[in-house]
Structure 1
């Protein structure tokens, strides 16, 4: 799947990392050139600076061949414009958009090209199903075609994994750690990385349950 994500804030970078870990072709764009430069080398995706509200830039970024466009900027007007362009000009099959202000939620529908509207309170956009639990380990995303689950778990001072390296943690079969979000920044996981309270991990698995992931870290 080819995905284009507009908005390289925390949510956008998490989505990019998750989709890339599931072997999708991901492009992440943002109008802030400094933010794109900051992410260079930290995400296994194509990073492009520019204004996704501009049709010419969207085409340059790959909208004309995208299977999915996700608009997650901090501005509802921008997210609506991006969604409308994606659907009407580039005929993108699936378009998801973040709703920052709940009062604007009524606008985020098919008339504006939005297939899936995601409230700002959602911790991580779900492309197929939204998060349904409020525990520290939540199944966030199911890539139905690939049969892949993306599961998030947060490290607390009470977690058994706190202070341990990733190499010391036994993961369920068919499970890999996609990223460790530390102090709001996605970090490429290495076996030597020692987990700290406050770390958030995104794991990709073909078979593990939320309970099995919880048992490994909590």
Structure 2
């Protein structure tokens, strides 16, 4: 899949890294030289310096053949313009846009070319699911140099982990729970934390697979 990420802030960098880890062709656009420079060592990520609100910049980034555009800038006005251009001028099949100010959320619909609006407070995993239709367990980051996988899985209402403390969850050897996201915010993964449906569990491991993590919690 060909993906364009408009905005190389923290969220944009994370989205680019995740999508690239899934063997997608990723291009990141930003007009901030420092942000672009911070991504130069990222494998499989192409960089385009410029304003994504400019049609010529989107065209250089490959918008005519893109399957997905993700607008992640910190300005709602920019995200709306990028979305509209992507959908109307370049006929991009799927457009995802970040909503920075909740009062502007009503604008982020198909009128502006937005297929899915993602509130700024929404966890990264939810944005990726919107963008790529991922399952509830995905390899978020593959940190090749460190040999570490960061994997996230969502507890469903039918998971056997619901109502159980973390200490009762048997994880594969060498796997550590790094964070729990509940109601859009991080929760300290203390041993006595009782898991609830919709909790998002982030684990770090050198060799554990997504299926093994899923089996531990589901």
Q: Which runs of 5+ in 2 are unaligned?
A: 149-175, 180-201
Q: Distance in 1 between matches of 2:145 and 2:14?
A: 14
**Partners of 2:137 and 2:214 within 8 A in 1:** no
Taking structure 1 as the reference length, the TM-score comes to 0.66
**Partners of 2:15 and 2:128 within 8 A in 1:** no
**Partners of 1:118 and 1:125 within 8 A in 2:** no
* Residue of structure 2 equivalent to 1:26: 26
Within the candidate set 205, 208, 211, 1:207 is matched to 211
**Partners of 1:18 and 1:202 within 8 A in 2:** no
State the 1:129 CA deviation: 3.8
Q: Distance in 2 between matches of 1:202 and 1:39?
A: 23
* Residue of structure 1 equivalent to 2:142: 178
Cα distance 1:69–1:36, how it changes in 2: closer, same or farther (>3 A)?
Answer: same
How many positions carry a matched residue from both structures?
169
Q: Distance in 1 between matches of 2:209 and 2:90?
A: 32
* Residue of structure 1 equivalent to 2:196: none
Alignment map for 1:142-157 (pairs within 5 Å): 142-143=133-134, 149-151=137-139
Alignment map for 1:159-170 (pairs within 5 Å): none
State the 1:178 CA deviation: 1.6
Q: Distance in 2 between matches of 1:125 and 1:82?
A: 22
Cα distance 1:201–1:4, how it changes in 2: closer, same or farther (>3 A)?
Answer: farther
What does the per-residue CA deviation read over 1:172-216, in whole Å, with 9 as the maximum and x for residues that have no partner? xxxxx524xxxxxxxx54249xxx99898789966344464x7xx
Q: Distance in 1 between matches of 2:69 and 2:92?
A: 7
Moved more, 71-80 or 25-34: 25-34
Q: Which runs of 5+ in 1 are unaligned?
A: 131-139, 153-176, 180-187
State the 1:80 CA deviation: 0.1
Q: Distance in 2 between matches of 1:32 and 1:197?
A: 35
* Residue of structure 2 equivalent to 1:102: 102
Q: Distance in 1 between matches of 2:2 and 2:65?
A: 7
Give the alignment's Cα RMSD to 1 decimal. Answer: 3.4
Q: Distance in 1 between matches of 2:47 and 2:70?
A: 15
Alignment map for 1:38-49 (pairs within 5 Å): 38-49=38-49
* Residue of structure 2 equivalent to 1:167: none
Structure of larger gyration radius:
2
